[in-house]
Each structure stands twice: as structure tokens, then as C-alpha cells.
Amino acid sequence: MRQSKVLTIGEVLVEIVATERGDGFRQPVGLIGPYPSGAPAIFIDQVGKLGQAAAIVSRVGDDDFGHVNLERLRRDGVDVSGIEVDPLGTTGSAFVRYRDDGSRAFVFNIRHSACGTIELKGAAAALAESCTHMHVMGSSLYAPSVVEAVLQATRIIKKNGGTVSFDPNLRAEILNSPGMREALSVVLAETDLFLPSGEELFLFSPAGSEQEAIANLLKSGIKAVVLKRGAAGASYFDKDRQISLPGFKVTEVDPTGAGDCFGAAFVTFWLAGADPETALRYANAAGARAVTRSGPMEGASTRAELDALIAEQRS
């Protein structure tokens, strides 16, 4: 059997965070950053940190924000040969400020940054041929060229006998953009593992209840649904089994990145042939550790760190 290798495609950004809570950026406010970020980048960093072969296709500028990301991803074992460094481009960014109620105000520079023009050509296309699993991030479907690259890589990996996971973390403006429903239905048709969070369960399966939504998704050809429930943990569903595990008890400092680290751990253990309960336990541990650190990628964990959290909460 070929050694498994996970691919994702999408935004590589820096995140710059307001140091005081409040509503947005209409007045001067203290900032801290840059932190390496972007949902697919956080996901793939966590996959790499667990020792699973991993790669990402993206674009950054030849600037400090790009190099912050390249260095972190390389350090954590991610193949960055599919990240094109554009000498004339600028790396994407997200300014984030938490409001008192825990919601977030953002200023994004994604579509018009270097990662707005990702394409699956040359080295990136060859990389797709070498990978056995594709992880699609809903947040990455922000520009037509990126959507095309994601669909192309998904087809290549499926044609080669690989598998696909899909985290539908879509922002509303993405969902309603032209052609998006069609693109999403193509992705869904290829999805083996669907990883929604909360209400995202109902995005493609408008049903009256959770059970009904899950039954519809499993009937459509998806092999398993993994539903993230924040601090309450997560559940796994396939045609034979339903498993729910509570969340680990931790102090939440910064929720950003929890879903991405959770998904990365689940996919890594699933690909390694772990039973769903084990994969779910490690995924819950990865999500829990992610929220204990400020900075979106700072809470990615090693296998030893996940084992330590699991052992600590067992005793």
C-alpha cells in the first residue's frame, strides 16, 4: 500500500489580534501578531505535527508574513513545495477583535492577496498526484481559481483511489457567491468524511432533526459524519455506529483553530486505521488543547501532548 499523504488547498494568512475586547477597528487599539493562520494552514500544521505526511497548496508574498508561515509549517513537518512565493504578491492577513460576547469582528485581506490566485499547475499538480487524501475547507472556496484548484485536486486524489474529508466552515458570503452551490455539490459527492460544526450540519441537509440530517447525509454516499459540539465534545456517525464523547475540561483562552485541529487529528487517526472512538477521543483532545492557547495555530499538539491530556483526564 502507498504511504498516506494528506493534501489541503487554500488560504495561508497571518492573524493579528486586538489585545482588548470590543467592537471592531474604528478606533486605534493595541494589536499582537503576526500569528501563522488560515483554516487550511492550521489544519495541515496539526496533521504534520502528528507525524502524518502532509502538504498544502497555496500562495504567499515574499514578505515576512509569508515567511512566518513557511517556517512554521516546515518546522512542523509539512511539505510546503506547493506554496508558491510570489515576489510581487502580499501575504494574506486577518485582523481579529473579540467582542465581549465572544463573537469576533474581522478585517480580512484574502481574495486580493497572494492566495487569491492559487492554481493547481506544475509542482502543485504533481503534488496532488502524490497524495492519498484531500481535505476540503469551506473557507477556502473564496475565489474562482481556488475553487477550481480544490475540485481538480479532489478529482485527482479520488481517481487515484484516495479519500476526501470536508469541513464546511463556510462564511455566508461564500455560500451565496455565484456557482458555489454547484461546486459544493461536487465536493459533497466525493466526500467520505464530513466534519460540520453545530448548525453547519443542516447546510446541505435541511432536516427537522439531527438524526434526520445525518441519515440523509449517510444515504447520499458520505461514509461518516463527525459533528463538532464545541466545549460539549463531538459525535461520530456511520451506517452502523453512533459514538458521542464529551469534551475535555480545559480553560478556553482563544477558540480560533479548535475545529481545524480537531479535524486534523480525526483525519490522521482515521487514515491510520484507528477505530472511530479512538479517532474521536484524539480529535476532542486536539480541539481542547487548541483553545488553551492564544493564536490560531499556537495550540496545535504533538501526539505526546494529546496522550498526556487524555491520561490526565482519565485519572
Which has the closest alpha carbon to 303: 274, 295, 224?
A: 274
Residue nearer to Mg ion on the CB measure, 37 or 169: 169
**Phi, psi torsion values for 310, nearest 5 degrees:** -65, -45
Q: Is 252 a residue that touches ligand ATP (CB under 6 A)?
A: yes
Question: How far apart are CB 274 and ligand ATP at their closest, in Å?
Answer: 16
Q: How far is CA 109 from CA 90, 96, 172, in A?
A: 9, 12, 17
For 294, the enclosing helix (H) or strand (E) is none
Question: How far apart are CB 235 and ligand ATP at their closest, in Å?
Answer: 9
DSSP state, 247?
P
Residue nearer to ligand ATP on the CB measure, 120 or 226: 226
- How far is the C-alpha of 296 from the C-alpha of 244, rounded, in Å? 26
**Of ligand ATP, Mg ion, none, which one does residue 248 interact with (CB within 5 to 8 Å by kind)?**
ligand ATP
| Max CA distance (Å), the chain | 57
Query: Which residues, in sequence order, are bridge partners of residue 15?
Result: 35, 94
Question: How far apart are CB 279 and ligand ATP at their closest, in Å?
Answer: 12
Q: Which runs of E-coded beta strand occur in the chain? A: 6-9, 13-18, 31-37, 54-61, 83-86, 92-98, 104-109, 133-137, 163-167, 193-194, 224-228, 234-237, 242-245
Of 6, 80, 291, 306, the residue at the interface with ligand ATP (CB under 6 A) is 291
DSSP state, 190?
H
Instruction: Judge whether 104 and 97 are in contact, CB under 8 Å.
Output: yes
Residue nearer to ligand ATP on the CB measure, 129 or 252: 252
Torsion of CA 17, 304, 260, 293, to 10 degrees: -20
Q: Is 139 a residue that touches ligand ATP (CB under 6 A)?
A: no
> For Mg ion, what does the binding mask look like between residues 165 and 204, x meaning CB under 5 A?
----x---------------------------x-------
Which three-class secondary structure state does DSSP give residue 167? strand
Q: How far is CA 183 from CA 27, 127, 189, 232, 273, in A?
A: 39, 22, 10, 32, 30
Of 259, 276, 296, 299, the residue at the interface with Mg ion (CB under 5 A) is 259
Question: How far apart are CB 184 and ligand ATP at their closest, in Å?
Answer: 17
Question: How far apart are CB 17 and ligand ATP at their closest, in Å?
Answer: 14
- How far is the C-alpha of 183 from the C-alpha of 100, rounded, in Å? 36
Residue nearer to Mg ion on the CB measure, 79 or 167: 167
Instruction: Judge whether 231 and 255 are in contact, CB under 8 Å.
Output: no
Q: Is 262 a residue that touches ligand ATP (CB under 6 A)?
A: yes
> For ligand ATP, what does the binding mask look like between residues 202 and 231, x meaning CB under 6 A?
--------------------------xxxx
Residue nearer to Mg ion on the CB measure, 113 or 169: 169
Question: How far apart are CB 298 and Mg ion at their closest, in Å?
Answer: 17
Q: Is 197 a residue that touches ligand ATP (CB under 6 A)?
A: yes
Q: Is 233 a residue that touches ligand ATP (CB under 6 A)?
A: yes
- How far is the C-alpha of 261 from the C-alpha of 281, rounded, in Å? 13
- How far is the C-alpha of 12 from the C-alpha of 65, rounded, in Å? 9
Q: Is 255 a residue that touches ligand ATP (CB under 6 A)?
A: yes
Q: Is 37 a residue that touches Mg ion (CB under 5 A)?
A: no
Question: How far apart are CB 45 and ligand ATP at their closest, in Å?
Answer: 13
Binding site for ligand ATP (CB under 6 A): 169, 197, 228-231, 233-234, 247-248, 250, 252, 255-260, 262, 284, 287-288, 291
